[in-house]
Structure 1
């Protein structure tokens, strides 16, 4: 396994605009992509996504890991599958979490799959 290129901060609706402004205006990160419910920033070669989650009451940090065999990696981690979190439409992989509850996307890397969150 190795680190992926994406870090996501899942933010409640009422905190999203202020959080995006904080990273853009106070920290000075460059916006690389803007979607309806997500803003991506350049984070020293990684993409830091600030995702708006309307029905969430707390902030979560989600990390991406790459593996040539995501199912074997999930088994090696001994972590529970949490594939109900978000659809993995065009990604081969699994959602899981670490012992502290940080959500991890263990996914296959490759040019055939988008490496954006």
Structure 2
């Protein structure tokens, strides 16, 4: 089973900390903005995109990681991780949301 890093990392940030967090990565760290959406800003992060997402009903920040695999169903079984597809819609994506033992959210998906 081959699993490799994806192209996206997301920091899910409570609404009241979102603007401050975006400004931190843009102005203090100096990351270049790659894309801006209503509730999300993507930054160039080496060969990846670091997304800072505003989450309306969240009290703390979370880091979510993307992993690529040719068979997301088999990868989920291989990792023995829970299927957590209720976390966010997977529109147009073949894959599953899951998490590691520490609770870090992982997106297992086709590239």
1:24 Cα offset (Å): 0.2
One of 50, 71, 82 as aligned partner of 2:52: 50
Task: Work out the CA distance in 2 between the residues paired with 1:47 and 1:89.
Answer: 19
2:63: which partner in 1? 61
Task: Work out the CA distance in 2 between the residues paired with 1:29 and 1:87.
Answer: 28
Q: Does 1:105 align with 2:107?
A: yes
Task: Work out the CA distance in 1 between the residues paired with 2:9 and 2:90.
Answer: 16
Q: Deviations over 1:48-97 (max 9, x none)?
A: 00000010001000000000000000000000000000001100000000
Task: Work out the CA distance in 2 between the residues paired with 1:92 and 1:32.
Answer: 24
One of 3, 6, 19 as aligned partner of 2:5: 3
Q: Does 1:88 align with 2:90?
A: yes
The unaligned stretches of length 5 or more in structure 2 are: none
The unaligned stretches of length 5 or more in structure 1 are: 110-117
Moved over 4 A (4+): none
**Secondary structure of the structure 1 residue equivalent to 2:87:** coil
Q: Does 1:29 align with 2:61?
A: no
CA RMSD of aligned residues (A): 0.3
Normalization by structure 1: what TM-score? 0.93
Normalization by structure 2: what TM-score? 0.97
